[in-house]
Amino acid sequence: GEDVEQSLFLSVREGDSSVINCTYTDSSSTYLYWYKQEPGAGLQLLTYIFSNMDMKQDQRLTVLLNKKDKHLSLRIADTQTGDSAIYFCAEKSAGGYNKLIFGAGTRLAVHP
Amino acid sequence: GAVVSQHPSWVICKSGTSVKIECRSLDFQATTMFWYRQFPKQSLMLMATSNEGSKATYEQGVEKDKFLINHASLTLSTLTVTSAHPEDSSFYICSVPGTSGLETQYFGPGTRLLVL
């Protein structure tokens, strides 16, 4: 079945880069997404990558996609305390209209 | 992206009562909306797909008589938790599919439900 896995926790020092990893199982996924959730809030679409791309950069964010290994990563450069949040990796399910399959989320803690 | 609101943002109720949560798409019409629940420190679990003008589609294991969904208009879907119990306490989030071709979803801010 469809499954998305992420490491649960990452701690980084302010100013360093953060790398959050994700693996997925559905090789037919057309889009893969990264969402950010701040405490007590809904999910905010952070960035996405189309399956025929290897990399996408958007300001401090870099998404890398290894389709062969079904591995997705999100790199945040110059991590700030405001980046502390939970980051969810998601893939579009092949089975339903815009149905997304989410990973468990990676809690990013940024310390001084 | 779409602007999605939810009301209330949090609610506390007694066991056995029913609670209604509203999800509104503020800036465009949505024939489909999604309802998720999220337990503390866990991922989102899709509960059901709300369809305007027809019955909702529930995910396996979700009781349709327990979680009533009504998609009354193109901008409003409601989730009613009937005869709530403490185990229904959770964070309920709705989302609206995007129309830009990204096939993504735009999420509401969530409703935290606490059943005493």
**pLDDT score for B102:** 65
Q: How confident is the model at residue A65 (pLDDT cuts 50, 70, 90)?
A: very high
How much is the average pLDDT of B8-31? Answer: 93
Residue A64 confidence class, pLDDT cut points 50, 70, 90: very high
Report d(CA B38, CA A18) in Å as an integer: 25
For A49, nearest residue in chain B (alpha carbons):
B102
Half-sphere exposure of B80 (CA within 13 A, CB side): 10
Looking at residues B49-76, what average pLDDT do you find?
Answer: 92
What's the pLDDT at A29? 73
pLDDT in the model for residue A94: 66
Q: Do A102 and B106 count as a contact with CB atoms less than 8 A apart?
A: no
CB contact under 8 A, B110 and A40: yes
Sign of the dihedral through C-alpha A90, A95, A97, A99: negative
| A19's tokens | 């790398």
Question: Which of A93, A99, A101, A107 is the mutation pick for testing B, counting most B CBs within 10 A?
Answer: A99
Q: Does B35 contact A at CB distance below 8 Å?
A: no
Neighboring chain A residues of B98 at a CB cutoff of 8 Å = 98
